[in-house]
Each structure stands twice: as C-alpha cells, then as structure tokens.
Chain A
C-alpha cells in the first residue's frame, strides 16, 4: 500500500538538531516598576529579552502605550504580553471612542485582568498598568500571573523584582516629587539588573502626567553604582 520509503532516524545524533535557545519561547525575564506621585506616575523597565540563555534583544522596549496617558509594563512571555497589549489597546480605544472621553486607568487595568484571568492556563503574563486620568490622577495597578488585580502606590514585577523588595520597602516614601521618583526607580532597577541574570541592558523610564508622556533612557554605563564589590 505504501509507495513511500521511510528513513530510520536512529543514529547517534541529537533527535532535534535545533539548539536549546531556538526551541525556547521568548521570555522578557525582567524587572519592571511603577511609582505614583502627586500629579502622575513614573514607570521603568530594563531592556533584556531572553530565549533560554541567549539574549534575543538587548534593547527591548517593555513600556507599551495602551492609550495616550496609559502605559503597561510587560513581563513574562514576550508573545503573550504583546498579544494581550494589542487586544487591550484595541478594546480601550473602541471604548474611548464610544464614550467620547479619555478612558480611566482603572478601566484599562480591568481589561487586562479580564484577559489574564480568563486565559490564565494558557498565558504567562505579569503586567503593571500605570497612567494618569482626570478622575483619580496618577494610578498604578498590578496584574500578576494568574490574573489578580490590585492598586498599589508602588509596584515591582518580573524575575528581578525579588532582589529589590527590601530596597523598595525601605526607601519608598509617600508624596515624593517627580525627580525623586525617577531617581528611586532608576536606582531600584539598577540594583535588580546587577543581581538578576535575566535583567539588563538599559533602563527605560517614562513619566506620565496631565501634560503628557516624557520618555528617558539611561544607558548601562550611566547607571548609578552602589558597592565597590
């Protein structure tokens, strides 16, 4: 019946000729952070995307605009978080046009939560939603893996966040100014990038306020250093 000749693949070669990093999914293995201040929010992220042990992109932008004054910081699977952000951007844009008003940050955060919770088995995404709206000013909402939603004045996420909980808890003060928040974020991210192998590259910062969005980049050699060791 079969006119096809089938080749035996029983040699000593590896079954799968592709190396490990070609088969692994692209992860953002990251450090992300967001801080509220009076008048807006400061968000920051590192810039490393890894596939296994290979750095696929060393200049990634993990701060993704969802709407004019609402951003999200992405951690987890690159493909999943990009797809979720695209979907939420569409939904929020549609909602905003219907309403004829800029959307609330809380709305954006809930859209993320809906998607992350409904598809929690298939997705691997830890997202921080931050922005400014007229009703409540600057807000930070965190939607970790699993789909919880909570509002926090300061939030860190990603694989590098474990190393900076102590620093953030001890150094955060309420009612910091914009410059103090930027300094605080840059330092926290540097510390995380120093210790976490999956975080690195440059520090990307953004300030979102009533006046719009201001973006900054701090290159690797300009990062604050802390210890002599």
Chain B
C-alpha cells in the first residue's frame, strides 16, 4: 500500500517501557507511598460550527492538573494546515502530540503531491492513529477546515470513531455547550451570528463546568484565510498582581568584594579557512 504521507512505519503492539519506569520510580521513592503526578488533562469546553462561508472553532483556555489550574492561557486550537485547525480535549499531551504528528504528515503530503490537504484526509489519518492505540491515547478532537470540496467539521474520538456533523461540542463542558448549540444553530448562518453562537456555547461550558474557564479563543476559517482570535473574550475574573516583584539594583547590600584575575595564556591557535565558492 503506497502511503506518500505517512512518516512513521506502524509497529505492531504497544510500547510500555515508560510504565515499568514509573513503577520503578514509585517503588524507589518513599517505598511506594508517593504516587507519580497525574497526567495533565485539559478538562475543557470546545465547540465548532459550520456557517455559510466556513467554519468557526472555539475553545476555553484552562488546563487543570487534578484540582489546580495549571495553565490559565492554554492554547487548545492547534494548527494542522493553513486551511485546517483542530480543537483538542482530553489529555493535554496526547492532543498536542497527535495534532503535531498529523500536521507534519500533512505538510509532507502537500510537498510530495503538490495538493492542499483536505479535511477528510486529516480526519482519516487521525482515525488510523487513534484506532491503532485502542483508546490509550486520550484525545477527543474537533477537526474543522475549508477545502476545495467545501466547509467541513469532523469529530474524532479516542477509540478511533469519526463523525461528520454541522455543529459539535466536546470536553467536560460539552453538555452545557451542546444545549446552546442545539437551541440556536441554523444552517448557513452569517459570520457574526456564528461567532456569537460559538462564544456563547463556550461561555455556557465555562459557567457550568469546573474544568473549563478563563478566556475564550475563536478561530474562523474561510476560503480566503484564517482569523485566529486569541483571546476573543477575556475572563471577567482576571486578577491584578498585588505587589511588584522587580527589585531595584542596590536593594541587596554588598558586604565584601573579592576580585581574582584569571591569567590565561594562548596555548594553541588553529585557523580554518571557510570555502565560500
């Protein structure tokens, strides 16, 4: 089977080297009382909508590590190709790496074939990768883009299932976001209406879900180009820093000063001419 774009040759089976290393580490430190840190989950609200002239993707910007917000300005809308972007929910590392891999593959394909990548191709490649790992890669992805065949929105699940739909929400806040989308989605909306709809859907997710929050990012993809608005809407619960953490030179008193000159002598000199012909 000729696959001009696949960069890695799929090996059969899984590679569980790291799990044995983790068990070893846990046993060595504190005799098994301390556990390894949990993987960073994005606990997210992401949504996508197909409108008259393209696709609007939206996401919140909170990344959580158990109950702590690890990143307040996490970028969940990933670049795949100039005309294709992907929102990722689930395990942060998995979504990042899977989308990076997809992006590299599509770039190689574009260079080899001289064609712009199609959204359906990106979705198929993602499906192949995720199915091979049988759900072990925790990536729930919304793939959206515009190509010569039209405006498309795909959902790819962690087990490798694919759905083609006109509107979509995923992540831990998706129930609330879906409610907004089901109520107000119409076919062939104008761009402003679509942006407001996606923004409101993400906002609903942020308000009702603890794992989603902070700012809302939007990405509007059309035939003519991409408008990645980050942030589209900032959180009204931003906090100003109470104190300044920069100190003037001279804040710390100097007690003693000791200057030691280093004596260096030239031992060996080698000149190599550069060939610039």
Contacts and interface: CB of A to CB of B under 8 A. Distances in A.
Interface in B131-188: 131, 134-135, 140, 155, 157, 159-163, 165, 171-172, 175
Interface stretch (A17-25, A101-109, A173-181, A201-209): A17-25
Interface residues of A, number: 28
A51 B165 CA distance: 16
A6 B36 contact: yes
Nearest to A83: B131
Contacts of A60: 163
A79 B161 contact: yes
Provide the main secondary structure of the chain B interface: loop
Given A2-B25, A6-B29, A6-B35, A18 B159 contact: no
Interface in B26-47: 28-29, 34-38, 41, 43
B66 interface: yes
Contacts of A135: none
Contact of A25 (B34, B159, B165, B172): B159
A17 B163 contact: no
B269 interface: no
B64 interface: yes
B88 interface: no
Contact of A2 (B29, B66, B135): B29
B275 interface: no
Given A6-B36, A79-B135, 8 more contacts: A6-B34, A18-B43, A18-B90, A19-B172, A26-B157, A56-B163, A79-B131, A79-B161
A11 B35 CA distance: 13
Contacts of A110: none
Contacts of B265: none
Contacts of B105: none
A57 B163 contact: yes
Of all A-B residue pairs in the complex, the 4 with the closest CB atoms, nearest first, are A78-B161, A79-B159, A79-B160, A79-B161
